[in-house]
Structure formats: C-alpha cells, structure tokens
Chain A
C-alpha cells in the first residue's frame, strides 16, 4: 500500500512542475590578470514544457548574479562638537560584494513580495540585519544607504527589462562585470515566474580567480607574509638605488 502511494506521488510530482528552465552560461570562469578590465557574461536558457505554453498568467524570468559575501559595518556620521564623526552603526551579516539583477519587466510588477521573501531574490531581501548597536533603530535607512553606496560604486546593478524573452521560450541576459571584483564563487540564479509566483529555480556558479602574477602575489602575501614584506622592501631599495644610479650616469 505504501509503495503504491509512493508511486502515485512520484507520478504526480513532475506533472505539477509543468515548466522548467534549461540554462547555460557563456563562461563559467573569469580569470583576473594584471590587465583585467572587466568581463562580459551572457546567461541564456530555454523553458522546457510537457505541454503547450499556457496563455495566462504571463511568464517572466529574473536572473541574479552575485559575488562573494562578507559581513560589513555601516556607520552614520553625526555632528558632535562641530565635527562630523561616526556615531551609530549597524552590522550586516552577509552583504554581497557584487550584485546584479536582470528581469523581463519591472521587478515590483512581476514578482510577488512573498515569493521574494521565500527565495531571497532582490538585493533588499538579501541584506539581513544581524546586530543593531547604539541608538540606531532606523535600520532601514542603513539598508538603503548600503544599497545606494553599492550602486554609486557600480557594484550593485539593476537592469529592469535586462532579460530578453523570445517566443515565451528562450531568454537571455547580459552582464558586464566591473574590474574591481572580489575573487571567489559568483552565483548565478535564474527564476522562472508566472503571475508573480516562482515556478522554477536554477543555479550555476562562475569561478572568479586571479591568475599569473596576481595569483602569486596574493598567495605569497598570505602564506609567507614576512618574506613578502622583506621582498617589498628589497624592491623599494633596488628601485630607489637604481633610479639614483641611472640619474647619476645620465647627468655626466
């Protein structure tokens, strides 16, 4: 009896998810070299169906591209004794170093808030408050400031209508990664939506790594810091002496 029930559930299972995503990336690694100036990433895919596409509700796709996260402290300056100094602070646990979101329409029209909450799609949802210190009850101001500063630096990008849909089946989204990347795993998440509800999610990662001399210097700085420091001084000494000599010869 239990086996029969299980078989029934299994046979029903796939039928519920009528539509699903098949996705791909133009590249799954980015190499940071000395002349790295950024990288273009193309995210593409198609919708796989068991039956013809339903006419309504309308279909949408959201793609997010997210860099490695780390805790941050957001501080606000206040005027004390005539000078502006940091006063209140909010600690955020998990703030992406880079976040880009592309969608096939205005986000507030194609995504229901409860689905955003469930899947943590938008940046505002991704930022979570962990600790509020001092007199900072207005933490939403701090969250907005975090987003604003990130956008100003070009680290947080929002492309409404950045996802192009073709014949309700194919989609593509183009991202231009900036040069000031933090290395690590960049996660790409793709959401298929109908009527504001998420009906399928796919995720892939892009490996962003320093290579060549960038890699060697970073490794050495962390693994042999004393040697690295001495080498830095040696470099400085040789360059300082070298320039002095060159100028002396040149002067004659």
Chain B
C-alpha cells in the first residue's frame, strides 16, 4: 500500500515506513540512542530528499525518545539533574553547530564534511566501545566473578569547581564536564543531523563514570529536547518537516521503542554495549566505503527549491 508524502513529494510503501520506524524505535529503546544516525540515511535510501530526511528524522526521534524515557522512568533510570545539565550544554552547542553548518554550506563541501564527521566519530566511538566491552565479556568469562569498572579519571573532575551531587548517578562532580560534554554533543548533532545519543551514551559511561542503568534514560531525556529544538528550527527555516512521514515513522517507532526497552533489561550491560558498538561500526564502515569506492554514478542532481 502506497502513501503520498506531502512535503517530501514522493510516494512510498506504508509498511516499509512502519517497519523502518519500528526498527529505529527498537534500537532507541534498547540502547538509548535516538536513532537519527540510522533513520536519516535509511530515509534517503528509499528516496526521501535529504533535507526532509534530516528534519523528519529528528521529529521521529522525539517521539521514540519520549516513549523510551517513560519506560525508563518506571524503572528509575533517568537522572534529571544530570539530564538538565547536559541539555543546557547541548542547546548551546547546537546553536554553535548550526553556524558551523551554515559556514560549511557556504563553502560548498557540506556533504563531504558531514560524511567525514560520521566516519570519524562513529568509527572512533564504535571501535573504542567494541574493544572495551569485548574485554569486559572476556574477563567475565575467564574469572567468573565480575567487577564493575568505572572510569579512573575521577581526580581531575573532582578538583573542578561547581560541584553538584547527582544522586541517581551516584556522582559528586563538577557540572563543568557534563556541560562541556553536552555542548560538544550539541555541536556534533547539529552538524550531523542526529540527536547525539551514540556519542552521549559512551561518553557518559567512560568520561563521566555514570552507571549503565541510568545512562540510557538520561541520554534519551536530553535527546528529546535537542531533537525537538532541531525539528522546530528546520520547520521554521526550511519547511522540511513532513508530518505525514513523521506520523507513520512514529507509529512504528513508539511500538519498537517499547519492545526495545524491555529487551534491554534482559541483556547484560556489556552485551548491550558490544551490540551498539557493532551497529555504530557497521554504519561508519558503510559511509567510509561510500567515500572510498568509486560510485556507480559520478554525477548528482540537486534541485533548488523555489519559494
């Protein structure tokens, strides 16, 4: 069954869209990532124009994140204090990122810039996470007993001013590192058109030393607002949010998110991390290949949208 999307101006299969939304929602609920780094390339792949894919992808991520946060909330997996601090940094960073994006667009190489960002960040984070979780799994199998390993770099974070107690995370650290982390993620998410969960989740575990239990919920909490902000920005600046497309993706996505968040409780944290690492690595390798291999069509046609 085909459905015509008013803003994208393409007709696509309804069940394909539902499935796509469901898949991304599932990953969102399971890993605490918004799924923007998956939904945007997938939408472009099925023929949705890039601008519409980025903006509508952001809108879909809002819904699946809300659904995910509510599920996490019931098992007390959201640190609101930490989430708010990350968010303040995130919105500031996102604002800066939008300026950088505009500058790169003016230079005419925004596509390559975005692709290289994807390859670099996804590749680095994926590889680091994969290495760490593989070692954790290996260690558990060898010794039987498991030791919870958190970051050792507490010393410098403890010496910074403006210390705040993050009760849910069991941390008493300065708010400066989370603010800076939020800002860095905000910049990246504006440039890459994603919520930034795939950067935030490992950073919260490895840099801030938060327990995995609250990482997913807190990350989703922050993502709701950053992607919400992005959606409004795109709707106002470029009118590229397709509500019809968003609605279908959301219906699939919210169901997937519920199943995903249930699934996440059945897996061990390091298993969860190694799966996310593999996913992130796969996407980064795919984009790297697109850059490295000779494309079948060297030419591309970009239509200027007339007001």
Contact = CB atoms under 8 A, between A and B. Distances in A.
Nearest to B299: A145
Interface string A212-226: 011101100110011
B71 interface: yes
Interface stretch (B137-145, B204-212, B232-240): B232-240
B303 interface: yes
B170 interface: no
A37 interface: yes
B278 interface: no
Contacts of B235: 221, 225-226, 228-229, 232
A228 B86 CA distance: 27
Interface size class of B (residues with CB under 8 A): 35 or more
A40 to B, nearest CB: 15
B109 A233 contact: no
Interface string A60-96: 0000000000111111111100111110000000010
A240 B10 contact: no
Contact of A244 (B2, B108, B228, B254): B254
30 contacts: A34-B3, A35-B3, A35-B4, A36-B11, A37-B2, A38-B11, A71-B303, A71-B306, A74-B300, A74-B302, A75-B299, A84-B292, A86-B111, A145-B297, A179-B2, A180-B11, A180-B47, A182-B9, A210-B6, A213-B244, A217-B242, A221-B235, A232-B59, A236-B250, A237-B63, A239-B247, A240-B64, A240-B250, A244-B67, A244-B254
- 6 smallest CB-CB distances across A and B, nearest first, come from A229-B235, A240-B66, A179-B11, A243-B254, A145-B299, A236-B63
Interface of A: 32-38, 70-79, 82-86, 95, 97, 141-142, 145-146, 148-150, 179-183, 210, 213-215, 217-218, 221-222, 225-226, 228-233, 235-237, 239-244, 247-248
Interface of B: 1-4, 6-7, 9-11, 47, 59-60, 62-67, 70-71, 74, 108-109, 111-112, 116, 228, 231-232, 234-236, 239, 241-244, 246-247, 250-251, 254-255, 257-258, 290-295, 297-306
